[in-house]
Amino acid sequence: MNGNKGLFSIWLAVLGVAIVAGLFTTVKLFAQGHGLFNANDVLLWTLPLGVYIFLALSSSGLTLLSGLPLVFGVQKYEVFAKRLVFLAIATLCGAFVAIGLELGSVFHMIYIVFSPNLSSPIWWMGAIYSLELVVLIVKFWRMHRGDWHSGFSKNLGTASFILALVAPLMIGSVFGITESRVTYFGPVMSIYCLVMAFLSGTALFNLYSLVVNRVMGNGVAAELYEEFAVIFAYAAGVVVVFTLLKYAIESATVVPEFLVYREFEHAFGTVGVFHSEVLLGLFLPFVLLLIPSVRKTAFGKILTSALILLGTLFMHMEILLAGQSHPVGPKAEQYPGFISYFPSIWEILVFVFALAIVLLLYTLGERYLKLAEAPE
């Protein structure tokens, strides 16, 4: 116990350092502007936005998962419900940190309220995630107070589920409705984001539960985790099919933008026609999940979840960067034909900051908020 306490203090200290570094980054960004990022007028959106997408979608995925007990009434999963909702809140907070530090003038956000543009997917995205955060917090509050089944509480669950369904579609449409950037696959991008959200949310939950199980040793019936592993495998399967479809289209089309896209050196390298992050972060864990002897071990579960979680982050980054790596129009006069990218220390610190916030909230929640609670 003492040893645990010591580890816990160290853990908090690490998070504290990360958060202090994050606050310093925040001040620095406000003082000097986003030139601190390795971004430019061609490659506009970089790691902080990738982290935002990753965390926001994961949060939606967690909320979707929470829908199994909370919306569809699968009672055996109620034991996960409170934790899922809390994780969704915490992860979304991290997402907000990332996007907050990505925006150039975050204080002008007030105009999201005062000067809304209903034709803007960014507006909808912002509005929905803000609402989602509120709904999730209220829902969590109700659950924490023991109110699981009142009409209000149920409606909150349904609302959060619907919002979590729509939010990834909006993130997808931010890219998808940009007619001039066809490599984002138009409306298909929305569906892609939705399935990716479910996948990364599931991966995150699996990984988290197993780690917490190890650390805290609380006893949830093992078969429930087995079922989750199967859900996880299905989710991965959907994304695998989707990804193969994308590859098929990409390699068959002769639309000029795709031809250029095909030629450029991919951020994380390729093996044959496949991107490394897809091979290692999707196909490999998917294959492992298909092998029962791997899937059934704790190590196998942790490995596959970790791989997929990292894989989704890298896949989002790859897609984000690839669509912006070539200058548009006259910007080709000013910038090279292909922009390569490696994050600056400040972008990494934004990532670390967001992650630290998420992890701190997890830690505090796990310690104080009785996340394993379920209705009697």
Partner 1 sequence: MPRYAMIIDLQRCVGCGACSIACRNENNVPEGIYWSNKITETSGTFPNVRYHYIPTLCNHCEYAPCVRGCPTRAMHKLDNGITMHDPKKCIGCKYCEFNCPYGVIYFNWGKPHKFWQDTRAAIRGGTASPEEVVREVGGKAVPYYNPEREATLPGIRPTGVVEKCTFCDHRVKKGELPYCVEACPADARIFGDISDPNSDVRRLLGKFRPFRLREQLGTGPHIFYIRGYNPAAYQPTKGGV
Partner 2 sequence: MKAEKRTFWKDVLDDLKMSRRSFMKRASAATGGAIALGGAFTPSFRTLAEASEVSGKGVGSWIASTCQGCTSWCSKQIYVVNGRAVKVRGNPSSKVNVGAGCPRSHLALQQVYDPDRIKTPMKRTNPGKGRNEDPKFVPISWDEALDTIADKIMELRNNNETHKYMLMRGRYSYMRDILYDRMTKIIGSPNNISHSSICAEAEKFGPYYTEGYWNYRQYDVMNARYVLIWGADPLAANRQVSYYSAVWGDVIGRAKIAVVEPRLSATAAKADEWLPIEPGHDGALAAAVAHTILVEGLWYKEFVGDFSDGQNRFVPGAEVDPETFEEKHTNGVVRWWNLALRDKTVEWAAERTGLPAEQIRRVALEYGNAAPHAISWVGGGPVMQVRGGYTSMICHALNGLVGACDNVGGSLVSNKEYTTEFPEPDEFMDEIAKVGKKHEKIDQRGRKEFPCINEGKPGSAVITNNAADGILNDDPYDIKVAIAYMNNFTFSCGQPERWERALSKIPFLVHITTNASEFSWFSDILLPDVHHMFEKWGYVKSIGNGYRHVTLMQPAIKPMWESKIDETEIPWLIAEKLKERGFDNLLRHYKIYIDPETGKEPNNAQEFALYSLKYATQNLWDPAKYKGGDKFNGWEDLLKAGVWNSDPYPFRKRWSNMKTKTKKFEFYSETLKEALEKHAEKHNTTVDDILETCFYQARGELAFVPHYEEPFTNGDQSEYPFLFVDHKSRLNREGRSANCPWYYDFKDVDPGDAAWDDVAKINPVDAESMGIRTGDPIRLTSPTGSITCTAKLWEGVRPGTVAKCYGQGHWVYGRLASKDFGKVPRGGNNNDLIPAVYDRLSGSTVRHAATRVKIERV
Residues of the shown chain interacting with partner 1 in the complex, contacts defined by CB under 8 A: 32-35, 37, 39-41, 44-45, 102-106, 108-109, 111-112, 115-117, 119-123, 126, 174, 177-181, 324, 327-334
Q: Which stretch binds partner 2 (CB under 8 A): 16-24, 108-116, 180-188, 294-302?
A: 108-116
Structure tokens at 55: 């965390």
Choose which of 16, 33, 73, 116 interacts with partner 2 (CB under 8 A): 116
Q: Running DSSP on this structure, what letter comes out for residue 19?
A: H
- Output the six-digit token pair for 309: 């979680």
Q: To the nearest whole angstrom, how small is the minimum distance from the Cβ of residue 36 to partner 1?
A: 8
Cβ neighbour number for residue 88 with a 10 Å cutoff: 29
Q: How far is the CB of 43 from partner 1 (least distance, A)?
A: 10
Q: For partner 2, which residue of 110, 151, 252, 299 counts as binding (CB under 8 A)?
A: 110
256 binds, among partner 1, partner 2, none (CB under 5 to 8 A by kind): none
Stretch that binds partner 2, among 21-29, 81-89, 114-122, 361-369 (CB under 8 A): 114-122
Q: Which does 300 bind (CB under 5 to 8 A by kind): partner 2, partner 1, none?
A: none
Residues in region 309-348 near partner 2 by CB under 8 A: 333-334
Q: Are 49 and 98 in contact (CB under 8 A)?
A: yes
115: contact with partner 2 by CB under 8 A: yes
Per CB under 8 A, contacts with partner 2 among 69-98 are none
| Closer to partner 1 by Cβ: residue 116 or 336 | 116
Burial class from Cβ neighbours inside 10 Å (0-12, 13-18, 19+) for residue 293 reads: exposed
Question: In terms of CB distance, is 117 or 155 closer to partner 2?
Answer: 117
Using a 10 angstrom Cβ sphere, with 0-12 exposed, 13-18 middle and 19 or more buried, the burial of residue 241 is exposed
Nearest to 232 by CA among 272, 201, 273, 190: 201
On the CB side of 283, CA atoms within 13 Å amount to 10
C-alpha distances in Å from residue 254, one per residue of 24, 178, 182, 262: 47, 19, 12, 10
**Per rule CB under 8 A, count of chain residues that contact partner 2:** 10
Residue 35, interface with partner 2 (CB under 8 A)? no
Does residue 30 touch partner 2 according to CB under 8 A? no
Interface pick for partner 2 out of 111, 141, 152, 342 (rule CB under 8 A): 111
Q: Which structure tokens are listed for 312?
A: 């989704």
Nearest CA-CA partner of 153 in 220, 212, 252, 69: 69
Binder among 4, 32, 75, 117 for partner 2 (CB under 8 A)? 117
Instruction: List binders of partner 2 among 183-242 (CB under 8 A).
Output: none
Q: Is 269 left (phi over 0), alpha (psi -120 to 50) or beta?
A: left
Minimum Å gap between C-beta 162 and partner 1 is 21
Supply the minimum distance, in Å, between the C-beta of residue 301 and partner 2: 46
Residue whose CB is less far from partner 1, 70 or 170: 170
At 85 the three-state DSSP class reads helix
Q: Is 45 helix (H, G, I), strand (E, B) or coil?
A: coil
Element of type H or E holding 293: helix 292-295
Task: Decide whether 177 or 260 has the Cβ nearer to partner 2.
Answer: 177
114 belongs to the binding site for partner 2 (CB under 8 A): yes
In angstroms, what is the minimal distance from the CB of 157 to partner 1?
A: 28
CB closer to partner 1, 333 vs 376: 333
Comparison of 177 and 303: residue with beta carbon closer to partner 2: 177
Closest contact distance (angstroms) between CB of 337 and partner 1 is: 13
Contacts of 70-74 with C-beta under 8 Å, sequence gap 24+, read 70/139, 70/154, 70/157, 70/158, 70/160, 70/161, 71/157, 71/158, 71/161
Element (H, E) at 5: helix 2-32
CA pair distance 17, 21, nearest whole angstrom: 6
Binding residues for partner 2, per CB under 8 A?
A: 110-111, 114-119, 333-334
